[in-house]
Amino acid sequence: MLSYFIKRLGLAAAIVSVAMFLLFCMIYLIPGDPASVALGPRATEEMRAALREKMGLNQPVLVQFWNFYIGAWTGDLGDEVLSGRPVTTVVLEQLPYTLALIVGGITWSVALGIPLGCWAAVSRGSWADRVVGILSVAVIAVPSFVIAIYALLIFAVELRWLPAIGAGEPGNLGDQLTHLILPSLAVGLGWVGYIARMVRASMLEVLEASHIRTARAFGLPDRTITYRYALSIAILPTVTLLGVGIGQMLSSAVFAEIVFARPGVGKLVYDAILTRNFPIVTGTVLITTVLFVLLNLLADLIIGALDPRVRSSF
């Protein structure tokens, strides 16, 4: 277990390093330098030169990359252009809002997806199975921002059941949760489809297994067999799926934050683009990437702990 853990951790560190390198290349190779981007078209040449000096853009490429790389590992992502506050602090302030949204999205997708997948697997071939199948494909296909806008239109603007704007009053948990319902639905709805399909497929496989047949032969009730014995195994692939899914949910969260005017990293980057606050943009990209790699790592480790076959094949 320990050697699997170390190997997997090393791979994650390598992926993050390469991602940093790619991000740096992108910044360096694309025409237009961050200093001009930050100052806008009306800046004088002296202003640009001064900011370039301050941001360290006059140093040789390799030195720049080294500073960027070492800074990133030690949590120093530079300072914001306007207020001069450290980028890491600014991003980490907004991150909890986005994480709440993603946790909300996972809650929706697990709470709806697992029962639907089980139901479809147990009633295989029936109309219920077909309807769940088509609905799963449909919610996967439709982009999350379309779902966000229509959720806003129907439940907040037309029916007025739920609030449309903001994250709720700080300290008032009930209010914050009501504000979370619609945005997290928009983030999680597509994943209801993925999870339902995944659970259905692995349930069908597990229901054929010999220990389930034995349980049947012992005369255990169907309900116990399905939910206690089969589901506990069939649920494993879902953990990996969620690890991957969190990256996509991060993307959906950006839209949900903008549509519902919630604070969060998505809103932060979007506003940073409008004010050309470039360090915030790169900083957020890096932090969210690291987050994604870490959560994937976590998913793999959970699977590795639960399923010895995965450990040995690595």
Partner 1 sequence: MAELWRPIRKILREPLGALGLFLVLFVIFGAVFADLLTSWDPTKINPRDRFQGPSTQHLMGTDQLGRDLFARVLHGGRIALFVALVSTAVSLVIGIVLGLIAGYGPRWLDNLMILLFDAMKSFPTVMLALALVTLMGPSLTAVMVVVVLVTVPGYARIIRTQTIALKTSEYVTAAQSMGASSARILRVHILPNVIGPLVILASMDIPVVIGIEAGMSFLGLGVRPPTPSWGSILNDGFTNIRDTAWIAIAGGVPIIITTLGFTFLGETLRDVFDPRLKGR
Q: What are the residues binding partner 1 (CB under 8 A)?
A: 14-16, 18-19, 21-23, 26-27, 30-32, 34, 37, 134, 137-138, 140-143, 145-146, 149-150, 152-153, 157-158, 201, 247-248, 250-251, 254-255, 258-259, 266, 269-270, 272-273, 276, 278, 281-282, 284-285, 288-289, 292-293, 296
Supply the minimum distance, in Å, between the C-beta of residue 248 and partner 1. Answer: 7
Kindly state the smallest distance separating residue 254's Cβ from partner 1, in Å: 4
Alpha-carbon distance of 121 to 207, in angstroms, equals 9
**3-state percent helix, strand, coil for the chain, nearest multiple of 5:** 80, 0, 20
Write down the least CB distance from residue 122 to partner 1, Å. 20
Long-range contacts at 126-131 (CB < 8 A, ≥ 24 apart): 129/200
What is the 8-class DSSP label of residue 186?
H
Tell me which residue has tokens 């494909």. 137
Smallest separation, CB 145 to partner 1 (Å) = 6
Tokens 């914050």 locate to: 176
If you search the block for the tokens 């609030």, which residue do you land on? 163
To the nearest whole angstrom, how small is the minimum distance from the Cβ of residue 179 to partner 1? 17
**Backbone torsions φ then ψ of 218, nearest 5 degrees:** -75, -5
Residues in contact with 255: Cβ distance below 8 Å, sequence separation at least 6, in sequence order: 144, 145, 148, 186, 266
Distances (CA, A) of 232 to 100, 251, 292: 26, 30, 25
Complex with partner 1: residue 30 or 217, whichever CB lies closer: 30
Closer Cβ to partner 1, 120 or 225, answer by number: 120
* Smallest separation, CB 133 to partner 1 (Å): 9
Q: Which is nearer to partner 1, 4 or 292 (CB)?
A: 292
User: Which of 9, 142 has the CB closer to partner 1?
Assistant: 142
CB nearer partner 1, residue 114 or residue 147: 147
The tokens describing 57, both together, are: 């853009």
Q: Closest CB to partner 1 among 236 and 258?
A: 258
